[in-house]
Amino acid sequence: MSDDGKRRWRGPGKDRKPDSGRRTGERKIIAYRAKSESSKKWIERQLADPYVQKARQDGYRARAAYKLLEIDEKAGLLKPGQRVVDLGSAPGGWLQVCVRKGVKELVGIDLLEVEPVVGAHVVQGDINNPADVEAMLAGLSGPPDLVLSDMAANTTGHRQTDHLRTAALADMALHFATENLVQGGAFCSKVFQGGATPDMMEALRARFRTVKHIKPPASRSGSPELFVVATGFLGKQASTQ
């Protein structure tokens, strides 16, 4: 600062002037162009995606519906007359699949609002909030036969961070399942990259008769997502041993 309190610009060149904000503006333009290009690629990918087109034809809200259909084709999870919980229900594609498969009682929960699905009782809330969970389970007449979770944190672009955040949600889903599933029930959850963490796999093998990973064809080849499927729940006593 000079004695008069005003900043003097120093350095070579007598005509040097303070930054007028142009550089900031240029950065904003570059960021906007990058975002626009990314959005353009996403739109092009969506338009070319056969699953997106098929979802529109079949009346599903999202292409993710086919992930569950393909998982079910391999694992035989969905059966008429079941009681099912769908964690992370938005936008409702998995709920639609369950209804069409003849599920008897169906409930779901999501932090986001879900447009009503006929045949499903959905709560906008948090699975970490006991009151929200109670409100959701009020839609079932007994313990669920199947707990589904397609929960995933918003991606950051950093693979390790995204993996850890999604792994934490998978752990939450597993905790919910072991607290609420009927004996003999099943569990299916999204996981990332190499699959369930070693700790989660150990917990699953201690609580279920069979555990495996499935990468449904509807899951894009470039996506790190996998689904862990566990069947034959051994009961709550196995969770405390």
Residues designated as active site: 190
Contacting residues for 7 by C-beta, under 8 A, at least 6 apart: 1, 18
Closest CA to 71 of 50, 56, 93: 93
C-beta separation of 130 from 176 below 8 A:
no
Q: Looking at the DSSP assignment, which residues form a beta bridge with residue 212?
A: 229
CA dihedral of 205, 208, 214, 218, whole degrees rounded to 10:
-140
C-beta separation of 139 from 160 below 8 A:
no
